[in-house]
Amino acid sequence: MKSRNMASPKKASAPAKKPPRSAAKRQSRWAGGVTMDVCLRVDSPKIREMEKQAAQRRGFKWALGLIIIICFLALLKITVQESILKNPQFELRDVAVQTSGPLTVEKIVRATLLTRGENLLSINMRALHTRLRQLPPVKDVSIQRDFDAGLMTLRITQRQPVAWLDCPKLGMIPCRPEVGYLLDHEAVPFPCDVVTESTVGLPVIRYADLSQKTAGTAIQDLQLTAALRLLKELELRFEQGQPQVRSIEIQTPYSMVASFADKSVITFGVDDLDLQLARLDRVRIEARLRQWEIGTLNLLARQNVPITFRKAPDLAGLQPQSSPTVSVSKSTSVR
């Protein structure tokens, strides 16, 4: 009975059963991994010698390449100098100046700092343009190079003067070279080096209280701007037959006095020039019809405009017939 119930030795030594495959997969899925870097470089005197020789070969190649580049650049420089910079075909032979105005050609050429024989390709065009624009009378510059003829052509647009600026306080004396200053319509003053026939006959704007004297820079002044506008309008009327203006004096911040070739003196206000010029046109037309010789006229007044004559005016038809006869003085007023 006992031997029958005992387990056999073969069955007792049998290995334990393996866990299910799904369980093994779950364990490997959750198990963490470790990565290790292993350096397998082998160091020896022979290897170090081989690396040294390889570094020497690389250094020799770099040095050889650098020497070749330097030699190429030097050869290129010599080629450029001999074929272009020292080529007589590109030499500057003459400078032509096309301009019109008070600025002389000689002064323009001196301002360029160009020399005969200079290579046209080596000239700094931007610096040349800047030097010419720094001249106060110059308004615009155009430069052209002709390599075949060795010619540099300068087209200079000068500011066109419309009047002399008179301000003794700032040393501006009209019709005198070097100390005389001209004005254009943009209120830009510039010195006059040479007084010519075209500039000596220009009208004068007198402004004793002027505080700015910067040649080549527009003067930001309301009174001077009004005087230039008045001058422009009077010049247009001169072309239509009215007397020519000789000078405009800015006396106060609100008044200007214009003197004309017919010896008339007319006072204008700085504001409402259009209205004042319309009154002037009516007076000029009446004076021409009746042969009046105007002495003074004050257009600042809005209602009764004071006017004087150099000789007794003909007022026939202007007074009511019923009025008694009175003696007419040389001074009267009109609306």
Pick left, alpha or beta for residue 241 (phi over 0 → left; psi -120 to 50 → alpha; otherwise beta): left
In the chain the first and final C-alpha atoms are separated, in Å, by 162
pLDDT value at residue 11: 46
Task: For residues 40 and 219, give the distance between their C-alpha atoms in angstroms, rounded to a whole number.
Answer: 84
pLDDT beyond 70 at 122: yes
pLDDT value at residue 322: 52
The residues near 97 (Cβ < 8 Å, ≥ 6 apart) are 105, 108, 109, 154, 156
Stretch 230-252: mean pLDDT: 93
Tens digits of residue pLDDT in 248-277: 999 999 999 999 999 999 999 998 899 999
Short-list 185, 272, 193, CA closest to 235: 185
Largest CA distance in the chain: 183
Contact 117, 95 (CB under 8 A): no
Give the pairing type, strands 294-298 and 163-166. Answer: unpaired
Please give the single-letter amino acid code of residue 165. Answer: L
Could you give the angle at the alpha carbon of 54 between the alpha carbons of 50 and 59, nearest 5°?
145
Task: For residues 213 and 189, give the distance between their C-alpha atoms in angstroms, rounded to a whole number.
Answer: 8
Q: Which residues in the chain are classed under CATH 3.10.20.310?
A: 90-158
The residues near 242 (Cβ < 8 Å, ≥ 6 apart) are 234, 284
Kindly report the average pLDDT of the chain as a whole number: 81
Q: Which tokens is 86 given?
A: 């020292």
Task: For residues 203 and 240, give the distance between their C-alpha atoms in angstroms, rounded to a whole number.
Answer: 18
Tens digits of residue pLDDT in 148-176: 888 899 999 999 999 999 999 998 999 88
Residue found under tokens 């004068």: 204
Report the share of the chain in percent with pLDDT over 70: 79
The CATH H-level (homologous superfamily) assignment of domain 90-158 is membrane protein fhac (3.10.20.310)
pLDDT beyond 90 at 48: no
pLDDT beyond 50 at 323: no
Helices (H), 99-221: 105-112, 125-133, 197-200
pLDDT value at residue 3: 45
Task: For residues 121 and 172, give the distance between their C-alpha atoms in angstroms, rounded to a whole number.
Answer: 42
Stretch 196-216: mean pLDDT: 89
Please give the single-letter amino acid code of residue 167. Answer: C
- Give the CATH architecture of domain 221-334: 3-Layer(aba) Sandwich (3.40)
pLDDT value at residue 296: 94
Flag the least confident range among 9-13, 38-42, 227-231, 256-260.
Answer: 9-13
Task: For residues 286 and 242, give the distance between their C-alpha atoms in angstroms, rounded to a whole number.
Answer: 12
pLDDT value at residue 37: 62
pTM, entire model? 0.66
DSSP 319: S
Tens digits of residue pLDDT in 84-116: 556 677 788 899 999 988 888 899 999 998 888
